[in-house]
Amino acid sequence: MCGRKVDVLVAGGSTVGLFSALFLSRHNVSVLVAERHEAPLAHPRAMGIGPRTVELLREAGLTDDVDAVCVDMTGSNLQMFSTPTLAEADVPALADEAPPRMDDFRQVTPQTLRGTCPQGRLDTVAAAAARSCGAEVEFGTELLDWQADDDGITAELRGPEGLFTVHARYLIAADGARSSVRGRLGIGTSGPGPLGPPVVSTLFRADLSAQTGGRTFIMCNITSPEAPGGLLPVDGDREWIYHSYYHPEAGESLEDFTPERCRARIRAAVGVPDLDVEIVGVLPWQAGGTVADRFRDGRVFLAGDAAHTIPPVGAFGMNTGVADAHNLAWKLALVCRGQAGEELLDSYGAERRPVALTAMEQSTLRLKDPSLHWGRGSEAVAQRAAAGALNAPVVHLGYRYESGAVVDAVPELPSTEEIGLALDGAPGSRVPHVWLKGPDGHVSTLDLVGGRFTLLAGPAGEAWLPAMREAADAMGVPVGAHVLGAGPGAGGELADTEGRWPVAAGIKDSGAVLVRPDGFVAWRTEKLGDAPYEQLREVLSQLLHRMARPA
């Protein structure tokens, strides 16, 4: 057998595995992805790309590529509506009356997409981008066996050209809800488990323009007793998904859903008995809620569905997995380069497992009562408060980290409803988004991070810049540093023309925040002290779990 060597082996090449490869390769970490399927699955399992994932696409320069394959919803704000059949709904009128979909996010994040995106299309973009950054992405390749020791992972795989071995320093298990890697490690799961009856997802093609009037939507809940289920656009035109329950306890099985039966149910759901329907594929699935009891076992890390399964309401599942990959990538990169101690990797589970638990709990609440997610206005706010539900933007963007990779974390959320209040510059939170004027136009504070530790100081914080450079040199890590002032910043490249940064970050004009490579605040100081270099060196030493090198 032929042996190969990489820093990281990724088992599973769906969305989370592919983004793991992309983020790692952007940090110059060598990575190989092994995916047993021959290509990204065309049958969508997820559709909604959350705002945090969009931020990560922006960082990777992929927003235009992904936006091009999204369902175009720019002409409609319609999210979810219920109707006996699609033909009985006045979709154009509902779309015209719907409040703007993305208003909750526009003030706190630099970019949004034009609509939803079928998972297979997202995966195709991610696979190409990962390869262009140097990652090896191998479809039709299965992880057969692996062993871990003090030196790394030795794995046996089978690909199109036969058996081969891979030696890796670390293994990421992104191999799905039935993860064989997790099972091999004996890692248990917690949570409610399966939720509700199993579902048949039917991918089909049909012309529904007469029923939709050319308007699109996120989901149509069909309430007709002849064909209850959910109808979702895949391309916004001719390709659709229809979800319907089946009941094994009543003798039903997946085999009962023949193309003829699926076609009849879709016609009943649309309300057009002679509708021309082409059945493309049928895929069974079941909502569930589980979180792995731990996300790390030595040199092995769990990510995505291998670490957590999250019910579909809210679009928290896939997006939580992508954020797993991003959180882990920069930490593995620093450790692989010898710039951080191995203990930094413990912060992955310490940070991501609570986020997964929250996402699972919030989605489970919404599965039982979808109005907790779709409801708007003061009545919906009161309803969420009574149910213990967070507003969706807070779930997507407002979570906070408390671990050894944050100094003086502030884990308490200021608000469960207002995402702007949750993004206040506190250590452990995602750095606030503020628009800055640069020589080539406007950039976001998030754009300044660029996958490295970055110090962002207030307008009177010029002394932080040389101190940051000296501290970074002492630790041997690359950093960025910027003064965000009302006029051009240091080097003349940036200007906070509205003076928003100090207030948004919770600092005085001489204060600063140190932002981690993933865009989360690692440390904050309200004002400039007497010894900024010593202060920053101590902070970096703590964050990287290693001592500064001698002067």
Same domain, yes or no: 277 and 266: yes
Q: How far apart are the first and last CA of the chain?
A: 48
Query: Is 31 among the domain residues?
Result: yes
C-alpha torsion angle, residues 240, 243, 248, 249 (rounded to 10) = -150
Same domain, yes or no: 21 and 123: yes
Residue 104: is its pLDDT beyond 80?
no
Give the mean pLDDT of 105-125.
92
Same domain, yes or no: 252 and 375: no
Could you list the residue range(s) of the whole structural domain that residue 456 is in? 435-544
Which pLDDT score, from 0 to 100, does residue 377 have? Answer: 87
Q: Tell me the per-residue pLDDT of 503-517, one tens digit each, with 9 for 90 and over.
A: 999 999 999 999 999
Same domain, yes or no: 522 and 400: no
Asked if 182 and 259 count as a contact pair (C-beta separation under 8 A), the reply is: no
Q: What angle do CA 402, 188, 165 make, to 5 degrees?
A: 95
For 204, 205, 220, 242, 278, the CA distances from 262, given in Å and listed in that order, are 9, 12, 17, 9, 10
Which of 240, 261, 286 is at the close of a domain?
A: 286
Same domain, yes or no: 248 and 279: yes
Which of 286, 318, 338 is at the close of a domain?
A: 286
Lowest mean pLDDT among 161-165, 243-247, 524-528: 243-247
Query: Is 537 among the domain residues?
Result: yes
Which of 387, 422, 457 is at the close of a domain?
A: 422
Looking at per-residue pLDDT, the higher value among 257 and 170 belongs to 170
Which pLDDT score, from 0 to 100, does residue 491 have? Answer: 47
Looking at per-residue pLDDT, the higher value among 469 and 74 belongs to 469
* Residue labelled with tokens 């609509």: 115
Query: Is 366 among the domain residues?
Result: no
Query: Is 354 among the domain residues?
Result: no
Q: What is the pTM of this model?
A: 0.95
Lowest mean pLDDT among 110-119, 133-142, 289-298, 337-346: 110-119
For helices 15-26 and 317-336, the axis angle rounded to 10 degrees is: 30
Residue 2: is its pLDDT beyond 60?
no
Q: How many CB atoms lie within 10 A of CB 28?
A: 12
CATH number at residue 336: 3.50.50.60
Please state, rounded to an integer, the average pLDDT across all residues of the chain: 93
Q: Which of 243-247, 346-350, 374-378, 447-451 has the highest mean pLDDT?
A: 346-350
Which pLDDT score, from 0 to 100, does residue 106 have? Answer: 83
Count of the separate structural domains present in the chain = 4
Same domain, yes or no: 509 and 447: yes
Query: Is 169 among the domain residues?
Result: yes
Same domain, yes or no: 17 and 128: yes
Query: Is 147 among the domain residues?
Result: yes
Q: How far is CA 270 from the centre of its chain?
A: 33
Give the mean pLDDT of 430-434.
97
Residue 549: is its pLDDT beyond 70?
no
Same domain, yes or no: 271 and 128: no
Same domain, yes or no: 145 and 215: no
Residue 7 banded pLDDT, cuts 50, 70, 90: very high
Give the mean pLDDT of 477-482.
94
Same domain, yes or no: 53 and 131: yes
Share of the chain above pLDDT 90, in %: 82
